[in-house]
Structure 1
Amino acid sequence: MSTHTKSATHTAAALEAFDAEWQEWHAAHERHRAHPHGFLAVTHLHWLTAEPTRLEGAPGTWSLEADVVRVVLEPGESLLQDGTELGGSVQLGPIEERGGINLVSGDTVIEVAKRGGEYIVRPRNPANALLQDYQGTPAYTPNAAFAVAGTFVPFDEPRSTTVGAAVEGIQHVYEAPGEIRFKLAGQELTLTAFNGYAPGSLSVLFTDQTSGKTTYAANRSLSVVPAADGTVVLDFNRAVNLPCAYTDLATCPLPPAENRLPVAIEAGEKIPYERQDQK
């Protein structure tokens, strides 16, 4: 076998492995998205106020005062918290920003959370039509050209960064520990990074020149893990939609202005079937 043939075979094998790893990752991500009590199961989005109110999809009368949620349950009504049955007058909180408490009522998980400084209640029921009818999310064919090397450059001090939200009237504030510099399509580019959910990971919210055309207009998200020396791999094939791409009952953050990329990233998840008529 010639050196050229060996090289071509090696390249083909590497691309095949790249594709297989992506398929496995995306299948796992889809399973997580379609969890019986995931965001596709959200039936309502309620904003709590001081006025005691009965909420559709949840038992009890709900109100908010001094950072504490109060639920008054009538005889015959109950909620479970970590397996413990609650009844009568129940107090919950305070809840930290982006934190939440899950309560159970029959088949429904009731999320009590704080988003943009406001308290929300979101019942999640597996029978919700959005979840029942979910067909999966279309995505670009994996392309190794969109897995690019970059460098994470930490700021001298983390920067508080305020961004808008998918829901009007609220804002999110994130700590940005630094920025990621990389090159794509012949351009030197930079993305502001926020702290990710997993320790040591970073989360990048962005739009690009496909946004609103083949990919969701408001945002996509990419998780990266810098090495000790700051090197990162930005694999845009693993760019995913946030919950707001599927439902109006989500409070997802929008990317900071500097993360609106001037290139077309034809990789990762596309506009969900559920939003195809809203391009």
Structure 2
Amino acid sequence: MKKLFLILFVSIFFSCNSQGKRAVVGETEYQRELNAVYKDASKSPLKKRDLKKFKGLDFYPVDSSYVVTAKLIKTPDTPFFEMATTTDRKPLYREFGVLKFTLQGKELSLTVYKSKEEYEDPKYEGYLFLPFTDDTSGDSSYGGGRYMDIYEKNILDDNTIVLNFNNTYNPYCAYNEDYSCPLTPRKNHLDVAIKAGVKDFKK
């Protein structure tokens, strides 16, 4: 009888405990993974007061029309330059290439970058930096622009690569001014409204 009572007690305890935990929300695996990071106090850029009430980031509806194939025109031997940030920090980047693609009936282009750190640190090998602003910036999306992670290994033999604007994210500065974030170069403004990916954070 005691053993049965103990089993019931443990079962009820863990059942209540699991119900008390907040489930990770998100429409796609990318959204759930991003929300999991922001929910984790050891990794999250959120301030303590924002983390306490955090349920999930706000995203535009997932839209397959914002998944495009881009042609990469590489720009070899470009010099490193100091990229402006939200602080006095000036990280060194170089232009890796220009991505050309069609979206909403318009021919568009974005410059993709690679930092000096990415050349020197093995853990960043193959990582490319793609910041952009668009006609939603400062309105429904973060005014400083959004980022997209792309990788050299995903560039096909014909120098094309898939860009998924649903999988974009804000720089940490959108959540906490203590971070230092690269500012999107003016040449990377898109004259269309990219209603995909993460929205601005409402503090």
Q: What is the number of equivalent residue pairs in this alignment?
A: 168
SS at match of 2:181: coil
Aligned equivalents of 2:39, 2:129: Cα separation in 1: 21
Conserved? CA contact 2:100–2:110, under 8 Å: yes
Partner deviation per Cα, 1:173-206 (whole Å, 9 max, x = no partner): 2122112111112221111112377533322001
* Structure 1 unmatched ranges of 5 or more: 1-20, 43-127, 275-279
- Counterpart of 2:14? none
Which residue of 150, 153, 156 corresponds with 2:76? 156
Q: Which amino acid aligns with 1:178?
A: G
Aligned equivalents of 1:273, 1:176: Cα separation in 2: 33
Whichever of the two has the greater Rg, that structure is 1
Which residue of 137, 145, 149 corresponds with 1:211? 137
Aligned equivalents of 1:159, 1:130: Cα separation in 2: 40
Q: Please give the residue correspondences for 1:68-107 in structure 2 after superposition, counting only pairs within 5 Å.
A: none
Conserved? CA contact 2:46–2:175, under 8 Å: no
- Counterpart of 1:34? 39
Q: Which amino acid aligns with 1:212?
A: G
Kindly tell me: are residues 41 and 260 of structure 1, through their superposed partners in 2, closer, same or farther at Cα, counting changes over 3 Å?
closer
Residue 180 in 1 paired to residue 109 in 2? no
SS at match of 2:93: strand
Residue 264 (structure 1) shift: 0.8
Kindly tell me: are residues 144 and 198 of structure 1, through their superposed partners in 2, closer, same or farther at Cα, counting changes over 3 Å?
farther
Aligned equivalents of 1:249, 1:147: Cα separation in 2: 33
Question: In proportion to residue count, which structure has more strand?
Answer: 1
Partner deviation per Cα, 1:15-46 (whole Å, 9 max, x = no partner): xxxxxx9611110111123322224266xxxx
Structure scoring higher RCO (CA < 8 A, sep ≥ 6) equals: 2
Partner deviation per Cα, 1:123-164 (whole Å, 9 max, x = no partner): xxxxx3232232321001100000011011111313424332
> With structure 2 as the length reference, what TM-score do the two structures score?
0.74
Aligned equivalents of 1:262, 1:163: Cα separation in 2: 22
- Counterpart of 1:192? 111
Which residue of 199, 221, 225 corresponds with 2:147? 221
SS at match of 2:80: strand
- Counterpart of 2:191? 262
- Counterpart of 2:63? 143
- Counterpart of 2:90? 171
- Counterpart of 1:230? 159
Residue 238 (structure 1) shift: 0.7
Kindly tell me: are residues 141 and 160 of structure 1, through their superposed partners in 2, closer, same or farther at Cα, counting changes over 3 Å?
same
Does 259-268 or 176-185 show the bigger shift?
A: 176-185
Q: Which amino acid aligns with 1:207?
A: T
Tell me how large the CA RMSD over aligned residues is: 2.1
Does 221-230 or 247-256 show the bigger shift?
A: 221-230
SS at match of 1:157: coil
